[in-house]
Amino acid sequence: MPERLVQLQTLMAAGDERAARVYETIGTYLGYALLDYRDIYDFDDVLVLGRVVTGIGGDVVQARAKEVLVSDDAVDPATVVSRPAPITFHTVSERDKRHGQAVAAASLPALER
């Protein structure tokens, strides 16, 4: 699968519209997944990692996810007293995105004993 990602990134860098649609789809799924997770967990921040979010495609993924969050997180004021805070996306350097698991582990808060 890494070879397919490299090919997708190459197509995206060349301006291929098909590649852009793939990244938009990934962003759409990310946005809806975050909304679902927010129904279960209380969070306002997301650390975006992984090789798929490196380069121009990663910008498309995040932009599309944010669009989904804004458009589908709307609530009916008559049924909900307060609306959750917006989700903030955080990223690391392009190099560190490729080492997502290590960065995620290093960013976890210390547990008090």
pLDDT tens across 16-52, in order? Answer: 999 999 999 999 999 999 999 988 988 889 988 888 8
Average model confidence (pLDDT) across the chain: 83
Own/partner pairs for 28-36, CB < 8 Å, 24+ apart?
Answer: 28/64, 28/65, 28/68, 30/61, 30/64, 30/65, 30/68, 31/64, 31/65, 31/66, 31/67, 31/68, 31/69, 31/72, 32/68, 32/72, 34/65, 34/69, 34/87, 35/68, 35/69, 35/72, 35/73
Q: Three-class SS of residue 65?
A: helix
Q: Where are the domains of the chain?
A: 2-107
Yes or no: say if 64 and 27 are a contact pair by the CB < 8 Å rule: yes
pLDDT band, residue 83 (cuts 50/70/90): low
pLDDT band, residue 81 (cuts 50/70/90): very low
Q: pTM for this one?
A: 0.77
Residue 75 has pLDDT above 60, yes or no: no
Q: H-helix or E-strand containing 50? A: none
